[in-house]
Structure formats: structure tokens, C-alpha cells
Amino acid sequence: MNRIDQTFQKKQKLLSIYFSAGHPELEDTLPILLALQDSGVDMVEIGLPFSDPLADGPTIQESSTRALRNGMTTEKLFDQLQNIRQSLNIPLVLMGYFNPIMQYGIEQFCKKCRSIGIDGLIIPDLPVDLYHHEYKTLFDQYNLYNIFLITPQTSEERIRYIDNVSSGFIYMVSSASVTGAQSAFGNAQEDYFRRIAQMKLKTPQVIGFGISNAETYQAATRFSRGAIIGSAFIQFLEKKGVASIPDFIKSIR
């Protein structure tokens, strides 16, 4: 069974953390992963830095740029993760854009992910139709879940199509904007959360974008199985460093 499915069998609400590989420092990837697991995080999304991250807000863009300057590459990340499953048992999801994956070679990328223990991919610029018709069989072959994003503007027809072809979870974007931390959700966002919950989708949903503190985490998980924190965690890392990660997780839960 895929580790993502195992994690969603837990009864409690889930917490997933996103960070950019190679940030703040090139060799911080493994220490961050181990500290997150030790702090009780349920799942981690590792950002594969890219020079043109269209879906990302300024904090993640800056962390990605810094990681690239540090020397992070797809090959370097794979080298860092080569033996990660000797010490890490929580699900790992790689989040990146399609161009670097194509440059690496799509099947070779999937094969490498499988060999080191990656459980899923989030590729914001890979359309669900293209994935379904061209790549789903390949991803299935390597037991890789491809996670799709929905927004408040996604039509019900599209959401049900995504639900039909999805495995793992659906990444529910809290707003139509790019990523970034915020202190609270408005009525429109809560109406959106409620609307999706009432659709009774077969694939569990996790809410991301704008989760930054205990208040937004609790608001998001009222309507979903979990929440994802990215920008707020990256900002914390820059200020407090890897050693303080347990303090950040405690502040959320």
C-alpha cells in the first residue's frame, strides 16, 4: 500500500509541511525531513526548485531561487534522498514543474522516485487530461500518485473528473491567488470549503495556500482531512533555523 493511503487511515486531522529542497542551505534537506518526522508531521512535500514557479508566491519563489543559487538540482536532490527510507517512514511528495521532469526523462524520473521511496508528485502545470491519457499508466507502474489541485474557480464537472482519476488526495487551494501565508480565512473561503465537503468526493482533500498558524490550520481542517503549510514554515526556517522546527509544529497543533 502506498504510504499516502496508510497515512489517510489515521483518524486525526493531518499536517503536511512544504519546503524547498536545498533551502536555506544546500545540505539542509535531510535534517529538515528528520526534524519534521520527529515533530509528528504526517507528510512532507519537497519542492523541486525551478526558475519560473508560476503557482508560487514570493516566499516560495525566493526560497527556490536561493536553493538554485546554492546548487540544488534534480540530480542533487535524488542523491540526497538516496537512502532516506532507512530513517524516514512518513510519505514524501515531490512538488515541481513539468519542464525539469521532461528534461530528466519522464519514465526515468518516475523510476528514480520509486527507487528512493517517493510516494507522490504534485505537478501544477501538468493538465489532468494530459496526465490521464498520456502518463497515468506510467505513474501507476511506479506506484506514484499524481496529486491535482483544485481552486474556488474549478467547475464541479472538472472537480469530479479530477476526483475520478485521482489517487492519494486532492490538493484544495484555499484561494485563487498564489501561495502565501495569511492569518485567517474569510467567509468566501469557508463557503468554498463547505461546498467541496458537501460534494462527498471519493478522494480525501487537503487544504493548502494561506495556512500559517493554529487558527488557519483548525479552520481548514474543519472541512478537510488535513492542511498543508509552506510559506509560513519557510519564513520560520529562515528566522529560527532547523533546530527550532519542533517549536513551529507545536505552535500549529
- Name the residues annotated as catalytic: 45, 56
Say if residues 90 and 42 touch (Cβ distance below 8 Å).
yes
Distance of CA 119 to the CA centre of its chain: 11
Vertex 101: Cα angle to 62 and 162 (nearest 5): 90
Cell of 167: 489517487
- Element at 65 (helix H, strand E): helix 58-70
d(CA 21, CA 167): 24
Residue count of the chain: 253
DSSP conformational letter for 13: P
ω before 49 within 30° of 0 (cis)?
A: no
